[in-house]
Structure 1
Amino acid sequence: MHSKQSWFEKAAALADLDLDDSAFGQNDDTASAKEDLKREKKALSTLLKRLLSQPLPASNIHLKKTRYVTAETASNYERSVTRSAIVSLMENGEHEKVLKKKCRTISARYLQNMKNRKKRGKRR
């Protein structure tokens, strides 16, 4: 940034132009603002990764369903933990694939049975 500024100042001096210092100050402000945003983004992404790596509450424990979190429900969640959110999501994705495959085979069998029934009905 400094090399561009000095180059610009040299060109202005050769052209006998007066420079306004406020234009250079704005560039420094935007650069520092960009750096602040990058740091904040990095901090938030690490926080997200940390939160996603925490275990989820166990689904096999019967927890009382409420609209609001109370001290009792929070303590129940703390006692019951399972896999991390990412592992759980991946397992659910695999389970969905298996269910879709089963659904396709069942629907194919059903369609085949219906065709066979229609053929039997025409023969009679």
Structure 2
Amino acid sequence: MSRGDDELPEEEAGPVVRPYAVTGGRTRPTSTLEMVALVATTSRGLGAARSPSMPPEQREIAFLCRHLQSVAEISAHLDLPLGVAQVLVADMASAGFVAVHRPERPDWRPDSELLRKVLDGLQRL
């Protein structure tokens, strides 16, 4: 059987792990975690990442988040579904391995007339 140019032999493809296996079957994080929340690794997280006992996905997150990353960026870098990244980050935050900086929500709502004018202007472009 011939192999197509876009197919990789098994040994080159690497291990295949289903997302539910990475999260232990959970589909939602234990706390609300927005995709724009910024994540930074703590010193405790960097220490734990050097240990072979930390799961590989969490280790990757720990090293990646030495510089601030959003949850969406983590998802993209690790090629994981957003929900999986949210669960992993929430677990790591609970363990003190990462600090999560949630976006601030303004107390005000924009004036509907202003929004209507902006929309009209955009439609005229």
TM-score range, shorter chain: under 0.3
**If the length of structure 1 is used for normalisation, what is the TM-score?**
0.22
| Structure with the higher helix share, 1 or 2 | 1
Q: Radius of gyration: which is bigger?
A: 1
**If the length of structure 2 is used for normalisation, what is the TM-score?**
0.22
Q: With CA pairs under 8 Å and 6+ residues apart, which has the higher RCO, 1 or 2?
A: 2
| Structure with the higher strand share, 1 or 2 | 2
